[in-house]
Amino acid sequence: MPEESTTAVIQRYLDALPGGTAELIIRELLDRAVGRLRLLCATLLYTKYPRLTRPPLNVDTDELLGGVVAGLLKAMRTVRPQTVRQFFALATQHMRWQLNDLARRLDERPGTGALAEAEVAAPPSSCDSCLTPNGRRMLEAIEGLPEVEREVFDLVRIQGLSYAEAAGLVGVSEKTVQRRLNRARLLLAEQLADLRPATSGGPLELPGYTSTT
């Protein structure tokens, strides 16, 4: 008998929450989801925030994962996701909160001002993982996307799901996923048009976006 998929198991735990022993079910749910949560943490940390992995912070995947799990344990005492889709959206939000907080604290450390100023002068594509003021602005623009576009952007560009996987999780066709991703890109490009290098004729390089054309 094939092993039950992680998505199916997580959904079963979510379904059991309303009538079960919440703390125990939440802990079992997180234990089953930890592999996928670790992958998401590693993806965000090493592809979007690599400078946090270097001195003086030296953040690693397990450290971030521990903070995310602790945050989810606390949050899910009052917030009850109904679907796997909602659960991973909540988890991704907690990852972003922690990483943005760490990056902000790093920027505020004495002696980092000159580095930050040097980074601001560089085109965003040269260091799209560093949270310079422009980088933070890009992340805020992503956070401000309409919900359906932001969700698909997260699933495909942050979590690394294929169009087919994202379509199955959201419950739409692959074409709809592509359309929503394209709308997200256009909205971000419009909001961040002033960050496009004046001599560049190509698309604006955004955190978490790579062209699929």
Chain region(s) in the chain for CATH 1.10.10.10: 110-213
Backbone angles phi, psi at 206, to 5 degrees: -115, 150
Q: Please state, in angstroms and rounded to a whole number, the distance separating the CA atoms of residues 178 and 46.
A: 25
Architecture of domain 110-213: Orthogonal Bundle (1.10)
What percent of the chain lies above the pLDDT cut of 90?
36
State the pLDDT at residue 124: 35
Question: Residues 38, 65, 206, CA angle at the centre, nearest 5°?
Answer: 70
Residues contacting residue 94 through CB under 8 Å, at least 6 positions apart: 67, 68, 71, 72, 75
Q: What pTM does this model have?
A: 0.65
Render pLDDT for 44-69 as a digit per residue (tens, 0 to 9). Answer: 888 788 889 999 999 999 999 999 99
Residue 203 has pLDDT above 70, yes or no: no
State the pLDDT at residue 175: 97
- Stretch 126-155: mean pLDDT: 74
- Stretch 122-134: mean pLDDT: 46
Confirm if 87 and 33 have CB atoms less than 8 A apart.
Answer: yes
Q: Does the CA dihedral 117-120-125-127 come out positive or negative?
A: positive
DSSP letter string, 37-84: HHHHHHHHHHHH-GGGGSTTT---HHHHHHHHHHHHHHHTTT----SH
Render pLDDT for 23-48 as a digit per residue (tens, 0 to 9). Answer: 899 999 999 999 889 988 988 888 78
